[in-house]
Amino acid sequence: MTDVLFAALKAGALTLPNRIIMAPLTRCRASAGRVPNVLMEEYYGQRSGFGLIISEATSVDAMGVGYPDTPGIWSDDQVIGWKKVTERVHAKGGQMLLQLWHVGRMSDPIYLNGKKPVSSSAVRPAGHVSLLRPEKGFEEPRALSVSEIKCVVEQYKRGAENAMTAGFDGVEIHGANGYLIDQFLQDSVNKREDEYGGSVENRMRFMLEVVDVVTGVWGADRVGMHLAPRADAHDMGDSDLPGLFRTVATELGKRKLAFICARENFEDQPLGPSMKECFGGVYIGNEGFTAETAREAINEGKVDAVAFGKAAIANPDLVERFRTGASLNAPVPETFYGSGPKGYTDYPTLQLSTFKIQPSEETDSMKKILAFSGSLRAGSFNQKLVKIAAEGARVAGAEVTVISLSDFPMPLFDQDLEEREGKPEAAQRLKKLFSAHDALLIASPEYNSMITAALKNAIDWVSRADSEDEKPLSAIAGKTAAIISASPGGYGGSRSLGFLREMLGNIKVTVLEKEFSLPKAHEEFEEDGSLLDAEKALQVKAIGAALAEA
């Protein structure tokens, strides 16, 4: 029987390869000017296996922000930043929508250049401004005038147009969680007495005007709506929540939107099933689901797909984990918001997790690998790469000895080493090491450097014949090698690999097809020696593992 989570789903013009959706998740990692950056490219690229990615909430205007370092979609630089994100996702076979957002009253003058937040009415929310320290209570917002409402509608239109320029596959309008659209919908906040307040029809007017301008840009079949029918965020409430949200779903259904995604826990008489019926289209559930409860909800017709939030944060390969029944990484809430890769792009995938498996206890049959870094300086980029690759080899069942040229005396760096009388002590030591190991893992810096020449001398010396016919020593001939290279200045890495490959081939060493080059190493490493990019770390470890299994 086909697993319903992996059945394709048609949502308007979108065809989802599976029904596991990445929910919109505020992570506060944008750069200055609220511009998406390389870290965000990596984060979303890692999650391209989801049936659909809905981006984090993205402000349509500078007056619509309420958190530090959330992205926007009103400036040219923001559009350029987002375009790089969508290109990464598309290159990996994924599809992605931008969530259009205005926080309304859920902000503070500190985020708005000293201006007061705006809302449907001048009703101050309870609670404190999000992520602001020391804590500060929300201020009373200013009610938007009718002409200002029209301007905000146009901001949503501009955001939709910019999202198209940035290469998204569609957009989702954020109408949930007590933000601006929700502040117009629910009568605990909306106290207006004009055409935007009073009756349900009037309170829906702003939302529907936004829907109409956005669908005018994208077409209704590439637009979704995010709702929170429980009014359980940011001090919201309505005198008739079921009636309000069923009416909202009905009106959105008339406009043939691609989907509704609703954040609502299904454990306590959810409104979702009746909203789904009123809407008549694809309905995505969100909050508190597991793989199993998601399957149940889909099979029972309560939802068509499920969006996952915290599980998506901690498991970039959540789709594959659900497919195989693998265990999940636990999220680390302390890193949900903030800067840097920690808790953002460093959660392990299933492939990375395999490196935690203990090697076989049958150590007598272990392959012995000599991991050799052609580097003088302790803690160099190539030494770091060797250690990462060695970890992969060890977990794949090999015994690894890690050495470096920095462990040997300076005669190795003499280009005329072979002219000296007798074999230097360094070469004798290296010969013994090479003889005692089955395979070589070699890292070298940029081409034609003194260090690469020294590495050549080291290998060259131990492969000399100790008889007149100069047959290569068994110390190195016939072994298998893998090569990796890191260069600090953005040059030379691939040339160094080619140089080493040729040299090793000449002395009858079989070189694995797998190799790795890091041309701008100074941009790639954490202070602790780990790689910033978890996928690159996996590639390096995989080379070590491949050598162990060769």
Q: DSSP E strands: which ranges in 428-486?
A: 439-443, 480-486
Q: State how far Cα 215 lies from the chain centre.
A: 29
CA distance 347 to 534: 8
Active-site residue, selected from the candidate residues 179, 196, 347, 447: 179
CA distance 377 to 406: 6
3-state secondary structure of 400: strand
CA distance 505 to 255: 67
| Residue type, position 318, single letter | L
283 catalytic residue (yes or no): no
> What are the residues facing 35 on neighbouring strands?
31
CA distance 388 to 366: 19
CB burial of residue 448 (10 Å; 0-12, 13-18, 19+): exposed
Q: Which helix (H) or strand (E) holds 142?
A: strand 142-143
3-state secondary structure of 108: coil
Helix 38-46 and helix 76-91, axial crossing angle in degrees, nearest 10: 30
> Cβ contacts of residue 405 below 8 Å, gap of 6+?
373, 374, 375, 376, 412, 451, 454, 455, 458
Pairing of strands 480-486, 142-143: unpaired
- The residue assigned the tokens 């395979």 is 439
CA distance 354 to 349: 9
Q: How far is CA 66 from CA 63, 126, 142, 143, in A?
A: 9, 15, 15, 17
- The residue assigned the tokens 């059945």 is 7
Q: State how far Cα 192 lies from the chain centre.
A: 42
CA distance 252 to 260: 8
> What are the residues facing 516 on neighbouring strands?
484
* Radius of gyration for the chain, computed over Cα atoms and rounded to the nearest angstrom: 29
CA distance 111 to 65: 7
Tokens of 539: 């590639």
Nearest partner of 435 among 393, 409, 398, 472, judged by Cα: 472
Q: How far is CA 91 from CA 41, 46, 49, in A?
A: 11, 11, 11
Q: DSSP E strands: which ranges in 281-438?
A: 282-286, 305-308, 368-373, 399-404
Q: State how far Cα 347 lies from the chain centre.
A: 9
Q: Which residues are catalytic?
A: 179
